[in-house]
Structure formats: structure tokens, C-alpha cells
Chains A and B, each alone.
Chain A
């Protein structure tokens, strides 16, 4: 049986067809089908055998997904567990023990377990490493107290990836440890956090003496920052990752509105639309080029540009959209507190999209932090003077 790099697109297609011959999507329960797909190594083909993969090239995943979709097979609703699939899974794979791989990866992939991310705190946003949620050793486990914020899906999640402070006596980056937290444990309190859009897509999560067994720690004690960095790297890959056709993002909505409403056109709006269309199409091509670089094994730093551009364009296009709507731009669809299961940057009306887009330059790393990262890591410019680097966390002013 071929594995790893020997696997070709045709070889994988063949394997999917054999699998489908043994597991008729129409006659198999959804969950049974997904579990069998995982066990056959056809879940995420670049993962190792036994963990839902075949050690194949990551670029071949598209081939497998397309074959299953063409056969009408149920999928694992990836958009419903984006943090689990995009961030928790690669972190668990890289830093987890064999036992953790066996416990968590299969139900994560099938969507049985939704995962959320417990990183940011009211006092630790851009300066994540200053976080204050404490985990105190207690026998064969840990006792966690503190507060996390901006946690999407916390109200649906079974697990959360958590960074907590285990040693306040060392400088801030050194005293952190990474855990998987059972969201159903006693002392975990999830409360909706309402946003300017009216809805509550996110949550605040309060921890009061929550007990986490030591077997749910991911990585070594005090290594939490290193593990968290890996999670955040995957976040950026996930954001720049999808291939879209021309007019595939928010610009498509604006272009269609322009074509559908000749009466709303003005020279000023026309000029802005053409600029935005140009920038959106160039950004799309830059994404295509980045994917070609990755496929050719030439990963470059260009990925860090993608989220910056995406945020700015979403904001400018949605600003344009509200104005193009004319008098309708003064209306809003619904201020009631909805609880959406997933973020939707492109849905609802222009007013909603405009307000939601304000978060694009804040969530997942502010645009300012991303610029600093590019300046220092890509361009090699000198770092900011740091007053907090060598000071024990407990002595930092706050």
C-alpha cells in the first residue's frame, strides 16, 4: 500500500472510489460515514496514518474533498468547527501526546466535538503574553481561575484551547502553559458578549476553580507561549488559505449591486468602485500566487500580508456598499441579539456588513500588530524598545 509522498492525485481518487464502494453515502448514517472516512485516512490526507491521514501532500486534500463532494457524501461541516480544524488540530498534532491524538482528533474532525479558543482576556489583547488567568498545580491536575473574552462558539464547544499562567514569578512569556479545557467542567461559565452589530457572536468565559487534569495539558509546563505561537501561525494560514474566483469576495456583492441599480450611480462612487475592484482583484491574484509558492515548496512571508489587505478591503468595500444603497443605507435589518453559529462577513444587509467589517482589523491580530510583525520579521527592522521583557510577570505595572 502506497503512503506518503508516493501518493498521487489519481491514487487518492482510486482510494476514495474504493471507500465509496464499501460505504454507500446514501445508506450510511452521517456520523458513521465520517468516522469511517477518518479511519480510512481520507479525512486530512497530510496527517499521519492512524490519525485520519495518509502522510500525503497537503495540496492533495482538494482532490479528495472534490471526489467526496461529487459523490454527494456528507461533509464534516468545516465552517462549523473552524477553530477546531484550523487551529486546535494542528496544535494538538504538533505538541500533543499519542494518547491526546487518539482521544481528540477523530471527534474533532467529524464535528462531534466543537472547539473554541480561550486566549484573549479583558487585560490581554494585543499583548497576549501578559494574560492573567491562573492555573495552579493541585495534585494530578490544575485549578484554573480567570476570565477569557472574544470566544466564538464557546456556547457550543465541548473543548477549548486555553493558555493560562502557571508561574507568575518569571517574565511573562516563560510562565504560561497550554491546556485543553473541557467546557462542560464545573466552574466554567459562558456568557454572551453583544457586539455593535446587535448580535452576540462571541462570548465571555469565566473560570472559577475549574479543575483540569494534567493529562489535558498540551506541551510542557512553561512552554505555553511556544505552543500558542504555533496555533496563531495556523490561524494566519487559515485566513489566507482559500482560493476564490474573480469577484468571489465582498467585491462581488458590491459589483452586483452596482450593476443592478443604475439609478444609484454617481461619478464619485464609480471612481471608488473601480479602485476597490482593482485592489480586490490584485489581492485575489496575490493569494493565488501565495498558494502557488506553497505548492512549489517556496513558502514566503507573503501570507502575513493577506489578512491586512483582507481587513482593509472588507472595510472599504462595505463602506462603499452602504453609500451605494442610498436611502436604504439608513435602514438596518435587525438589532435584536441573535446568536449566530458562525461569523458571516458577506451575509445580511450592507449596514450589517459595514459594522461587522470593523472587527476585521481587530480580531485575530490587529492590523497594527500585523504591521509590526511584518516590519520586524520580514523587513528585519529593529524591535520596539521593550520594558517588560525581563521583568517577572507579577512585577509588571497593570
Chain B
């Protein structure tokens, strides 16, 4: 460049360096590419925009048939579950790839809530009793926390241990009472994993069909992942972890949820960009494709740059989680903050650049917008994750 000729080496920092720390593999390996192809072709065949639009106005917003195909036929329900428990013994890398593809399709299936968040909670709690059923896709589970809960939030106290009834003692049961609003992937779940305060504080397993369990569907901003309000009125529960172990299990589950939502948001952004680029090449006004106007070209170029960057952030979070890397909290906060904002911008640009048709119910752009907005708030907003970074990388506030 005639401009910045020789660039002097920047100052060397104290935090980490090339010799001390290697960036994990941020690419997709061959196995991941194969998995991507299978899941994408399934989604193209069975999860088109028309299917979703019909479903979000039906009583069954969750596509349990599609979920069976993803969970059992493709084995995605058991990715994080060890082979000894009939799982695939894979890692968060593969799970993140599935999340990305499901985001691209705004697929209405409980992968995130069941196969990622609840599964991580059970694994962290060391409770293997139901893992095989989860891995086979026979049942799904949900962690009973509000979808907006951020990793690192205080242990939930919305549900309390209300004691035992006659006969509970011999069956090892206790009773829970409380209300948890806005739980994701719980409407169709068979198992609820409930953090409860009391004696003892801990993580409890509750059958979703048990007496005293009431699930009220929420008219959700994102009906492709409909929330429910959960009421427990002396519901029977079995303790699976208590004290600090329960706190760790909830923390791990929320962190995994946030990290994999970053990949899901990447998928949302990627698909919005793809749809928009295709549309502006074909839509003509002023006797030209509207994609030949610089006002749109430059914004799409910027968006492509953002999606490119988001991919690196999302892959880094998945890789750190998969390796149990000490940088995982930073990676997760970084990815969730960044990918949320990019997905939102991509969905908003998708609406805008589609013009009038983009504002209609019949066009799928709104499904992506609603997913992007909802998922960018879920498991901690961008602001909440940046605030977490302040502590993690020593940039304290005023």
C-alpha cells in the first residue's frame, strides 16, 4: 500500500501469547460437514417456511415428528451423552453445528432445551438414570429456569421445597412448590429439571405429567420456540444434586445454552444474509436489480463481514466448551454478545431489503426476526454478557 507502509509491531501484552496459547481449531472437520449435510437435507425436506408458518398458528407449535427424525434417526438428541448411556459421545462442537443448522431453518424442535441445556445439567449433576431415554429420543427434558436467565445468575429461588407427604419417604420423593415463568422447550418435555431452594437446596427431577405440575402455554414473541409458565403445587420430585454441585450443574447448563445459542444465532444470521442476497439479485426496480444499488451492496457487504466474524466467535465458544478450556467463560460471553447483535441486524436488514413483502405474515422474514430477537435476549442479553466480560478480563466499571 502506498499508505501504511511498514507497520511496526504492536506492543506485546501480558494476557496471553502465541507460544503460551494456541487457538483451537475453528474450522468444521469432515465429520461435522457430513453431519451438516444430513441435517440440512432433512430440514429442507421437512421444515420449509410454509410448514413453520402453519405450525406457529396451530396448537402444536413444536414439531415432534421432525424432532423424532432429528433426535432418533440422525442421533442428535444424544450428541453430548456418553456412549455408555446410549449416546453418541460427541462434543459441543458437533452440537453447535446442529444448533447452527436448526437456526438457519428456525426449526421448531426442542434441541437446545433438551439435548443441550437439560442434558448438560444432568451430566453435570452426575445423574445418568434417564440419559439413555434422552439419547434415544424417547423423552425430552427441560431445565426449569426462565429463558432469559444469564449464566452466572444467582441460584434460582422461585421454586421451594415444600416438604414430604406420607409415603414420599420410602419412595425417596419430596415436594416442590413455586412458579417459573417463561421456560423454553418445556411444553412438550417429559422431564423437568427443577432448581429449588429450601431443605435441601438442589436440583430435582420432576415428571412433567405428575400431579401438581401445570404448564400454561405463553403467547411468545418467537412461536417457533414457544415458552410456557410452569406452576408446581406440591409436585413430587427426586433430588439429583444438592448444594454447590447443584449450582455448578445449573451454571454449566446455562453456559452451554448461551454458547450454543451463539451458534444458533449464527445460523439465523447466515440464512438471513443468504435470503436477502438472493432476493436483491432478482427484485427489479428502476429497471435494475435492486442489488446493484450501492446503498444496499455496502450494507450487505458489512453484514457479510459481521457474519464472517460471528462464525469465528461461535466456533471458538464451541471449541472451548468441548475442550473444557479455561477460556470458555470468556469465549461464551464473547460469542453470545457478538452473535446476538449480528443475527438481529441480519434479520432486520432482511426485512428492510425485502421491502413490503418482508413485512408480511406470508414471508418467513418475521420468523427469523422473532427468533433473532428472542434468542439474543435468552440466556443473557449482549449487554449482560459484556458486563460479564468486564469481570472476566479485568476491565472493571467506574
Contact = CB atoms under 8 A, between A and B. Distances in A.
Interface in A353-390: 359-360, 362-365, 368, 370-372, 374-376, 378-385
Q: How many residues of B sit at the interface, in one of the four size bands?
A: 35 or more
A274 interface: yes
Interface stretch (A3-11, A131-139, A292-300): A292-300
A246 B15 contact: yes
Interface string B7-19: 1111111011110
Contacts of B302: 308, 371
A109 B337 CA distance: 44
A248 B3 contact: no
Interface in A334-365: 341-347, 359-360, 362-365
Contacts of A49: none
Contact of B298 (A152, A252, A347, A368): A368
Contacts of B165: none
A246 B6 CA distance: 22
Contacts of A289: 26-27, 311-312, 315
B334 A248 contact: no
A344 B8 contact: yes
Given A82-B7, A152-B2, A265-B398, A247 B15 contact: yes
Contacts of B51: none
Contact of B2 (A245, A247, A279, A363): A363
B289 to A, nearest CB: 5
Contacts of B389: 274, 277-278
A152 B338 contact: no
A384 B305 CA distance: 20
Chain A, interface residues (CB within 8 Å), range: 35 or more
B395 A281 contact: no
Nearest to A66: B19
Contacts of A252: 10-11, 13
Contacts of B4: 152, 343, 345, 359-360, 363-364
Contacts of B170: none
B281 to A, nearest CB: 7
A372 B387 contact: no
B216 to A, nearest CB: 37
Given A274-B387, A274-B390, A345-B4, A246 B13 contact: yes
Contacts of A83: 1, 5-6
A79 B281 contact: no
A387 to B, nearest CB: 14
Interface string B50-73: 000000000000000000000000
A220 interface: no
A249 B10 CA distance: 6
A19 interface: no
Contacts of B31: none
B312 A245 contact: no
A180 interface: no
A244 B12 CA distance: 9
Contacts of A286: 308-309, 311-313
B386 interface: yes
Nearest to B335: A282
Interface string A318-346: 00000000000000000000000111111
Contacts of A344: 7-8
A381 B305 contact: no
B390 A371 contact: no
A362 B298 contact: no
B292 A374 contact: no
Given A269-B398, A270-B395, A288-B23, 16 more contacts: A79-B9, A82-B6, A150-B2, A151-B2, A245-B12, A245-B13, A258-B395, A274-B386, A274-B387, A278-B338, A279-B338, A308-B305, A345-B4, A372-B294, A380-B277, A382-B291
Interface of A: 78-83, 87, 116-117, 119-120, 149-153, 201-202, 235, 239, 243-250, 252-253, 255-256, 258-259, 262, 265-267, 269-271, 273-275, 277-279, 281-283, 285-286, 288-289, 292-293, 296, 298, 302, 305, 308-309, 341-347, 359-360, 362-365, 368, 370-372, 374-376, 378-385
10 contacts: A120-B2, A202-B2, A239-B1, A256-B13, A288-B26, A292-B23, A343-B6, A363-B3, A372-B301, A380-B281
